[in-house]
Amino acid sequence: MTADPTRTPLLLTPGPLTTHSRTRSVMLKDWGSRDPAFVDMTRQLRERLLTVVNGAPTHVAIPLQGSGTFAVEATLASLIKPDDKLLILSNGAYGERMIDIARRLNRRFLALHWPEHLPIDLQQVDKAVALDPTISHVALVHCETTSGILNPFEQIASIVLGHGRGLILDAMSSFGALPIDLSKFPITAVVASSNKCLEGVPGIGFSIVDKSAIAAAKRDNIPSLSLDLYDQWRGFENNGQWRFTPPVQVVAALVEALRLLEEEGGPAERLKRYQRNFSTLRSGMEQLGFRMFLDAAVQAPIIATFLPLDDVDLRSDDLFVALHTRGFSIYPGKLTMRDSFRIGCIGAVVPSDFEALIDACREIVSLKRGRS
C-alpha cells in the first residue's frame, strides 16, 4: 500500500478512519435493498466476515445497522437471558459501557475492574469464575480503545471455556488485524464493526455468534425489536434480506474493504503494516519528548495514547487543533485520570503518513518552545 495524497484531512484516529479510494468509490452506486444483487452482496459480507476469524461452520455472522455499540447491546440483549449471569471484565471506557448496557437491560451481572493502564488479571478471572457457578457468561474488550491496551484474549478464553462458560468478546479494535481464531477458541460471540481494522466506513456492527447460542435465543427474552439478533439471523437465513432498511452503500464499502483485506494477505499481513505504523509513530513522538501512557508489554499496535510534554505548555486540545489546521486529525484522550491524546495506527495509512505527522508535531512543538 502506498500513500494517497488526495486524502484531506488524514484521519489518524481509532475509527472512523482513513479509507482506501476503492472503498469510497463503491459507495457512488445506488442499490435496492431487496434486489437480488444486494441480497448476494449481503451473503458475501456474512461469508467474508466468518473467514476473518475462521468461524465456519460453527458460527454465523449477523450484521446489524448502526455503530459497534449497537452490536454489543444487541448481542448482550439477545444472548444473555434474564436468568443468566454475566461477568464483565473492565479496564477502560468500553468495558464500563458493557456494564451500563447490562444494567439498562436489567440483566444479572457482576464486574471486575482494573486500572486503565493494567491488563486483565488471569488469576482473578479464574478465581471469580471458579467460585461462582451461577456465572453463565464472561465479557471483555480485546483491545481497549480507551488506551490501546491489549487484553490476553486467548488465555482468558482458555480459562472461561475450561470452566464450561460462555465468552463474549468485544473485538471492535482488533477484528481484522489481531489474531482471533474461532476454530481454536470456539467462544460464544465476537462483536465488531465496519470502521476500524476492517477499514470500512461507519454504519454496520456485527456479531459472529455460535450457532447453538443464537438458535437458543428466545424472542420473548429480548427487550428490543431492532436489536433482536435472533430475528435478524432468522431473516438472513430465510430470505437473505435485512429486516429493516440496510445502509446499502456501507455494505458495499465493507465488502470491498474485505476484498482489500484478503488482497493484503489477511489479518496477519495487515497487522504487520500496523506494527510498522506504530513503530514509526512511537519512535518519532518519543524523539520529540512525548511519553506513551502504556508499558510496551501491554501496548497493541492499534491505538497509541500519549501524555502531554512536561516542558512545553501544549495541552492535548491545543495539539488537536494545531494538527487539524495542518491536515491531520487525531483524537482527544479518553482516560479518566489525566490529560492525553490518542493516535490511531489503523486505516489505509502507511509509515510515511506517520513521518509526515511527526514533522507536523515537530513544527508545532518548536513554535511552542520558541515562545516559552
> Which residues line the annotated binding site for substrate?
342
With H, G, I as helix, E, B as strand and everything else as coil, classify residue 89: strand
Global pTM reads 0.95
Strand blocks (E) in 231-337: 291-292, 303-307, 328-329, 331-332
Quote the crossing angle between the two packed helices 153-162 and 122-131, to the nearest 10°.
Answer: 20
Domains of the chain by start residue, with CATH: 10-16+266-371 (3.90.1150.10), 21-263 (3.40.640.10)
List of residues 6+ apart from 217 with CB closer than 8 A: 78, 79, 229, 230
Can you say whether the dihedral through the CA atoms of 95, 96, 98, 103 is positive or negative?
A: positive
Binding-site residue positions: 342
Instruction: Please give the grid coordinates belonging to residue 71.
Output: 452490536
Three-state SS for 224-248 is CCCCCHHHHHHHHHHHCCCCCCCCH
User: pLDDT in tens for each of the 372 residues of the chain?
Assistant: 665 555 568 999 988 999 999 999 999 999 999 999 999 999 999 999 999 999 999 999 999 999 999 999 999 999 999 999 999 999 999 999 999 999 999 999 999 999 999 999 999 999 999 999 999 999 999 999 989 999 999 999 999 999 999 999 999 999 999 999 999 999 999 999 999 999 999 999 999 999 999 999 987 788 999 999 999 999 999 999 999 999 999 999 999 999 999 999 999 999 999 999 999 999 999 999 999 999 999 999 999 999 989 888 888 888 999 999 999 999 887 676 778 899 999 999 999 999 999 999 999 999 877 765
